[in-house]
Amino acid sequence: MGSQTVVADVADELARRVAAGEYQPGDLTPSVRQVAEEFDMNRATAQLTLGRLESYGFAEAQRGKGFTIRDVRRAGGVEVYRQLFRFSIPMPDLAIEMFRDIVDVERSLVLETLLAYTGSAHEADAAELKALIDELETSARQDDPDFSQILAIEVALVRRLLTALGRTMQRAILNSIGEMVLEVPEAVEAYFAGAPDLHVLVWRALAAVWDSGSGPSDAQIALFEDLLGTYHEKVVLRFEEIVGALAERSGAVHAATA
């Protein structure tokens, strides 16, 4: 195993402990010597490991003291939140709370984008959007659909709309949310609480509205908002089922080996 893999694996374990509350904000991290001894590595590699933990945003170097634990939940930015979510999966309550927040932000952003674009002059390249929707359908119709690929295409579609609308900040937020979800398999799976074909049908319907140029009625918009809200509720419930099942299996394994 390469030294970089060791550094990443041990930094991930230390980050998991921060996420689990085993290390509290303001506490000193284990020293270089303690990390080297616990994980059977030399001190140079241990120093790199603590540096990696700092790069995650979970610790900060204090001159003359070593590294201290940051209050990641209170003071962390988007990148720290992303890392915290990644390490929260073994802790169902925390993972579900964070995922619900992610879904709420994503739903608001996507809904606002779709409604704004539908009411705009449709400045995105229609052929480019159609090509992405065709690619989405091809992926969804596979015998064993790649959920990550499908979700990445959907993020790309919304990104194109935000670019056409000139909403660069919202596009940056969407990119961050996409990264958070796409690197956590359980989160990706949750977004497919329904069949992948349903994702294609929604985008085909939206494209038809844009091509018509007439725009949806108020009643159609209200129905769309309700459907999107119901879909995201199912996504959160599916995530709860997934991480709950993981926790049960983990508990059973620990009991069997105790």
Is 1.20.120.530 the CATH number for 88-257? Answer: yes
List pLDDT tens digits, range 127-158: 999 999 999 999 999 999 999 999 999 999 99
Percent of the chain exceeding pLDDT 90 equals 67
Delimit the domains of the chain by residue range.
Answer: 3-76, 88-257
Q: Would you say residue 254 has pLDDT above 70?
A: no
104 contacts: CB under 8 Å, gap ≥ 6 = 232
pLDDT of residue 255: 57
- In this prediction, residue 252 carries a pLDDT of 64
List pLDDT tens digits, range 54-99. 999 999 988 888 899 999 888 888 888 998 999 999 889 999 999 9
Q: In sequence order, what are the beta bridge partners of 66?
A: 62
Residue 220's pLDDT is 80
C-beta separation of 93 from 246 below 8 A: no
Which contacts (CB < 8 Å, 24+ apart) does range 207-211 have?
207/129, 207/130, 207/133, 209/118, 210/117, 210/118, 210/122, 210/126, 210/129, 211/126
The answer to whether the CB of 136 falls within 8 A of the CB of 153 is yes
Fold: same for 3-76 and 88-257: no
Q: d(Cα 95, Cα 97) in Å, to the nearest integer?
A: 6
Check residue 1 and give its pLDDT. 47
Q: Which residues pair with 69 in a beta bridge?
A: 59
Region 103-126: what's the mean pLDDT? Answer: 90
Q: Model's pTM, two decimal places? A: 0.85
Rama region for 64: left / alpha / beta (φ>0; ψ in -120 to 50; rest): left
* Confidence tier at 249 by pLDDT (50, 70, 90): confident
What mean pLDDT is predicted for residues 2-6?
70
Q: What class has domain 3-76?
A: mainly alpha
Average pLDDT of span 9-14: 94
